[in-house]
Structure formats: structure tokens, C-alpha cells
Amino acid sequence: MFVLPADALPDFGELLAAWRERGIHVTTLINDGALPDVKALLADTDTTDAVLLAGSARRAPATVVGGPLVADRSGRRVPVAWLPLTCRENNRRFAATAARVQRRVREQPAVAVLGQWQPRYLRVADRIEALLAPYLHTLRWTGDVLGRDDTVRSLGSGLGLAMYVGHGRPVGWVGYHGVRAHHFETAWAEPATRGEPLGAMLSLCCRTASRRRVGLSYAEALPLLGVAAASFGAVGDTLHTDNTRWAIGLCDALAGGAQTVGELIARGAPASPTASSSYRLIGDPMAPLCGTLRGLARAARVTTYP
């Protein structure tokens, strides 16, 4: 289900076409008034796999929906994503990015494991790697083995998923001496260094989807800049224990074969209500997590510090 204002509809033609090509049946709901209550939208259905709610960027992720999952009529948890509409250029860039990711050949699931260079986060990264290693390729790009510029460039290899653990702020990650959206904008700007978008970028840390003292949060900026088809971040402070719960749940969901970011979030969400409601999904909830072999080969060539 795609909810958006009528005047924005032409900007998303490419994404609607890509969804259709993938066999995804999309119900477009034109909404020019106040954003609808998603709970009410889903109360009458049990066949919706995901909802993308697009609306004025004056609304913050924290206020458009209560969390990344909303129960439908049957009690099934449906992933709900938010897309802030800022300008036509950003709408079209996001649509082109998400369409490109949808149309990519799905050959190889791989995860970039990112983390701040601090023992507690490196330990979580170790555990994520250990849990995922038997099931899919992992690329260890934590702050102790890769610097900021190399990390930003490497994330443009064309992988399906990247997962960050560490401290976070509304402007970006604290790890890697600070990563902001503009670092991607700069590094990916030239045709020679243009990155291939990620399927999804997950930030298991505080506040990357918070609007506190920022025009647009880091988690919102990434899909609009074309860095990823979807991103996942917290709207406030989070507990390390809750983020660890998320990490374990997401690893189990990946090991269990989750195919899209929405499915991953729905299957991996922890039982803790606060852990779940702290986060928001931004961008395409149907973004696939599988990348191309070429993308994985590019990522595997990244040189890390020993």
C-alpha cells in the first residue's frame, strides 16, 4: 500500500513500474489531507504486506506512525515505512534508487557489519558476524579496520544490507569519527566514484531518525540521496540492551531467509515494546536484501586494516 499526495504521484512512476515488474501488487491511496492513521488503514485488511506512507517533510518520523510495525486485522505485524517529501528532485532520486534496487538481479545476500571502534560495539559486531557467517557473506567494516572515507566509498559496492552498531545522532553516526549524509553526497558525486545503492542501511543506535535540531534526519536523508532504498533508525535514545535484542532478532531473521527489509524488520523485531517503538523504517519497505555477485566482488576487494 502506497499512501501519497496526488501531486507527488508522477514522481514515483519509475518505482511503481519496478514494483509491478517484481510482481508486487501496489494499492495507491491518494491522500491530500492530514496523514491517515495507519492502524485504521490496516484494521480492515489482512493481505497487506507493507505500507509506505509519503507526506510533507514538515512531519517528523516520530509523529507519523508509532513504530515500524502495525498490526493488521489478523494481528499480523505489517512493516510501515515513512518517506518525507521535500522536493520533486529528491522524490525522483529516491524513486530511481528504489527502482534500481528492485530491478537488480538478486544473486547473493551479503551484509556489511559496521560499528564504532569501542569494545562493547566491536563485541556486538563480532556476535553479528558469528551468527550470520553460516548463512550469508559478511563484510567486517567496523571502525577498527576501516576509516570513514573508505567505509563511505565501500558502502557503494552494491550490497543488499549494511548494519551499524555504535553511538548515533540525528545528523549521523558517531563512529568512524562521524559519518554524515553529506559524506555520501560528496564521495558518491563524481561519475567515477558514484556508488551503487544499498538495499537497506540499518542503524542500531540512538537518534538517527530523530529531527532534533536537524531539518532532515540522517536516516531520512540516506534514501533521498540515493544511498539506500531503505533505512532504519531510532527516533530517540535507545538502550544498548534493546539494540542488542534487535541485532539478535535481525540476525535470526536473516538466517531464516528474510528477503525484504520489511520482512526482516517484522520477523526480527524484539518482544520489548519500547525496543520496537523506538525505531522507524524509512523508504521502500519492499527493498530486497539480496545484492549482485558483482557488488559482492567489489565489496570483497575492499582492503581493511589487519
Binding site for other proteins (CB under 8 A): 120, 123-124, 127, 239, 241, 244-245, 248-249, 252, 270-273
Shortest CB 210 distance to other proteins, Å = 21
Shortest CB 204 distance to other proteins, Å = 13
**Radius of gyration of the chain from Cα atoms?**
18
Whose Cβ is closer to other proteins: residue 83's or residue 275's?
275
Shortest CB 65 distance to other proteins, Å = 21
**212 to 10, 196, 215, 237: CA distances (angstroms):** 31, 30, 8, 11
Shortest CB 261 distance to other proteins, Å = 19
Cell of 267: 520477523
Shortest CB 255 distance to other proteins, Å = 12
* C-alpha torsion sign, points 21, 27, 30, 31: negative
Which residues in 288-306 are b (16+ Cβ under 10 Å) and which e? bbbbbeebbebbeebeeee
Whose Cβ is closer to other proteins: residue 108's or residue 117's?
117
Whose Cβ is closer to other proteins: residue 138's or residue 243's?
243
Q: List, in sequence order, every residue forming a beta bridge with 24; answer none if it has no partner.
A: none
Shortest CB 244 distance to other proteins, Å = 5
On the 0-12 / 13-18 / 19+ scale of CB atoms within 10 A, 262 is buried
Shortest CB 196 distance to other proteins, Å = 33
Task: Return d(Cα 65, Cα 1) in angstroms, integer.
Answer: 15
Whose Cβ is closer to other proteins: residue 73's or residue 120's?
120
Task: Return d(Cα 139, Cα 243) in angstroms, integer.
Answer: 20
Whose Cβ is closer to other proteins: residue 90's or residue 244's?
244
Whose Cβ is closer to other proteins: residue 45's or residue 241's?
241
Whose Cβ is closer to other proteins: residue 193's or residue 241's?
241
Which residue in the block uniquely carries the three cell numbers 536484501? 289
Whose Cβ is closer to other proteins: residue 150's or residue 252's?
252
Shortest CB 245 distance to other proteins, Å = 4
